[in-house]
Structure 1
Amino acid sequence: MSGIWAKYNAMLEAQPLLTKALTSLTGFTIGDILAQKFVNQDGKPYDAMRTLRMGTFGFLIHGTTGHYFYGFLDGKLPGTAPLTVATKVAIDQTIWNPIFGLMFFGYLNVVEGKSIDDYVNKIKADLKTAVMGSWAVWVPAHTINFAFIPPSQRLLYINSIQIGYNVFLSFLGNKKVDSDDEEKKEL
């Protein structure tokens, strides 16, 4: 096991962006597989394309934006003092979290070939749930993250927790939205 850890850290040092993207690919792929196998007990057969969509989101969007966002945050707010940690968690959850949700639903919308109206309906139906649902997981997880995890290991730590959280995201991201229900909510 120590050999794998050493190899991972060597990759992280040599190619941090690629390594973090691959780490997120793994986390999102495993999360969707678990969601389909154990959470979505709707009788539908396993959807490999859905897992591919979730994995590519992890690789193309989550890993890359996480690399830059957390690097930026650590650069602007260095250290692990309690006020610094609380500020990072607040920024992550009040600014980054909704942006992440918009990117997540937008990515799925694009790769599934859906319309802008579908995207808007999805945001109206599920963004608030995604953001508020994440608070229960990510406020304590990021408190630990920003206080104790070395910056180079942040995305690995996040993806370790993200596997479980991705079960929720995968379910939410692939939940069908009835546009008639959205129109009724607006009335």
Structure 2
Amino acid sequence: MPLKRKIYTIVTRFAIYLFNKHLYSINTISGTVLMSSGDVLQQNIELYRGISDKFDWTRTGRISIVGTILGTLQHFFYCQLDKQYPGKEMRIIARKIILDQVLCTPVNIFIFIYGLGLLENNTWTEINKELKEKFTTIFLVDCGVFIPTQYINFKFVDPNYRLIFINAVSIIYDTFLSYMKYSHNKIQTTDQQEQT
């Protein structure tokens, strides 16, 4: 057997072993790493645009905590969704997408806003205000990104790889979440100051 083929076989078997034996850990860790990566990307954009003057590792740490919570919840949500609705027929895929958008997405947004608000020691009034201001925009962007992504996911991706697939796609979405949380208001304030 050629060396390339042998390496490919070993790597493939190892990946299958990891996903079969350690799916929870992989899903949780990937949620943490990718949400943190989204924040790192957003902070680099902020530095480049002059919105901030230094990198905030504490902020990235808080986002990674929320990413761990979301990765854990999503792991259980998608496992349960696949048990409840096995199959790849269009009506089953549509049901899964609707449940994902109606149940999982709002919960994720609440955890993101409230989790970071609590980690930042914000008051309930401040957190509620932020949720009210940002929920609709975040929800609509989520629908635009994840409805087509989830169709591909539920139609073509093996259930063991669902969350890792979603997490890989969500790096851009996670960057957007970091933007909504930390940069959106700064940019609006700067624009308003420039107009006066």
User: TM-score, structure 1 length as denominator?
Assistant: 0.87
Dislocated runs of 4+, deviation >3 Å: 1-9, 175-178
**What residue is the counterpart of 1:50 in the other structure?**
59
List per-residue Cα deviations over 1:97-117 (Å, max 9, x = no partner). Answer: 111100111110111111111
**What residue is the counterpart of 2:20 in the other structure?**
13
Amino acid at match of 1:100: N
Amino acid at match of 1:21: T
CA shift for structure 1 position 6: 4.5
- 1:172 is aligned, of 180, 185, 190, to 180
Separation (CA, whole Å) in 2 of partners of 1:25 and 1:98: 19
Amino acid at match of 2:139: V
1:27-176, aligned counterparts within 5 Å?
Answer: 27-38=34-45, 41=49, 42-59=51-68, 61-175=69-183
- 1:26 is aligned, of 9, 16, 33, to 33
Q: 5+ unaligned residues in a row in structure 1: which ranges?
A: 179-187
8 Å CA contact 2:31, 2:67 repeated in 1: yes
Cα distance change on mapping 1:7 and 1:24 into 2, 3 Å: farther
CA shift for structure 1 position 39: 5.3
Separation (CA, whole Å) in 1 of partners of 2:148 and 2:122: 35
CA shift for structure 1 position 8: 4.0
**What residue is the counterpart of 1:182 in the other structure?**
none
Separation (CA, whole Å) in 2 of partners of 1:112 and 1:102: 15
Cα distance change on mapping 1:77 and 1:39 into 2, 3 Å: farther
8 Å CA contact 2:66, 2:111 repeated in 1: no
Local SS of the residue matching 2:55: coil
User: TM-score, structure 2 length as denominator?
Assistant: 0.83
Separation (CA, whole Å) in 2 of partners of 1:34 and 1:10: 31
Separation (CA, whole Å) in 2 of partners of 1:131 and 1:32: 19
CA shift for structure 1 position 35: 0.9
Separation (CA, whole Å) in 1 of partners of 2:16 and 2:140: 33
Separation (CA, whole Å) in 2 of partners of 1:4 and 1:56: 30
Q: Identity of paired residues, percent?
A: 25
Q: 5+ unaligned residues in a row in structure 2: which ranges?
A: 1-6, 187-196
Separation (CA, whole Å) in 2 of partners of 1:6 and 1:114: 47
**What residue is the counterpart of 1:184 in the other structure?**
none
